[in-house]
Amino acid sequence: MRIGLCQIVSGAHPAQNLELVREGISLAADQGAELVVFPEATMACFGGPKLTEVAEPVDGPWGTAVGRLAKEAGVLVVAGMFTPAPDGRVYNTLLVTGGDDPVGYNKIHLFDAFGFTESKTVAPGDDLVAIEIGGVTVGMTTCYDVRFPELYRALADNGASVIITAASWGAGEGKREQWELLTRARALDSTTWVVACGQADPASAGIETSGNAPTGVGYSAVVDPFGRVQAALGAEPEVLVVSIDPFVTEQAREAIPVLENRRL
């Protein structure tokens, strides 16, 4: 399977961010990607517009436009957006599109940490989401989810051999190191491939930010089920396309049967 990671810096305007999606899809598809992954908050960055003002269903105008781009390129796309929640907040949603019907994963674990309270504006999701791509089950997670190993194990129990982690990781002392450690740990916990695609560091693109909204640190990576980093990016915007072998998941689960051996 060929997977493209599009490490971007999204801005406040969904229409402008759609152009970043268009460019990323084109670059990844030209390198043979079948699945193209964008970060959390691709539709609109944190710390920008009021999220309820940009939120729309996965089959709304923005999501439909992403789906059209995906179909034109012959790929599936995963991209972070915001969808309306019934309580007046929004869901932090990963859109999966390019197939017959769009699918949305609503982030389960909200980032109420490091002085940021995502739950003020975002409602938590409840449901696991995994899709089948060419006979491979791919699970969906978002950012703060990576601190909860039980979610990754649950996705593995539901057949996932690859897990997407889309993020807009908050900056700060030690945060890059935590991101790198956590993605590798979750790959080992679940013996799955972890495809971790985050927002690039805005400073690397000459963009100034203020406040404590999580706007990204970069360092997207592809980690195999043995916890080995197979490919990684730096802080700046870039597209990375990697081939992964789902059979490595079977090898890891035979060698390190942690899913079978657990007792709790």
Query: What are residue 5's phi and psi, to 5 degrees?
Result: -110, 120
Of 34, 45, 56, 107, the active-site residue reads: 107
Active site residue 143: yes
Q: How far is CA 17 from the centre of its chain?
A: 16
CB atoms within 10 A of CB 120: 9
CA atoms of 82 and 141, how far apart (whole Å): 15
Of 40, 45, 56, 118, the active-site residue reads: 40
Q: Which of the 8 DSSP states describes residue 195? A: E
Going from the C-alpha of 107 to that of each of 104, 140, 187, 228, the distances in angstroms are: 10, 9, 19, 26
Helix (H, G, I), strand (E, B) or coil at 261: helix
Active site residue 34: no
> Cα dihedral sign for 144, 148, 151, 152?
positive
Of 6, 45, 143, 197, the active-site residue reads: 143
CA atoms of 22 and 38, how far apart (whole Å): 11
Active site residue 197: no
Active site residues: 40, 107, 143
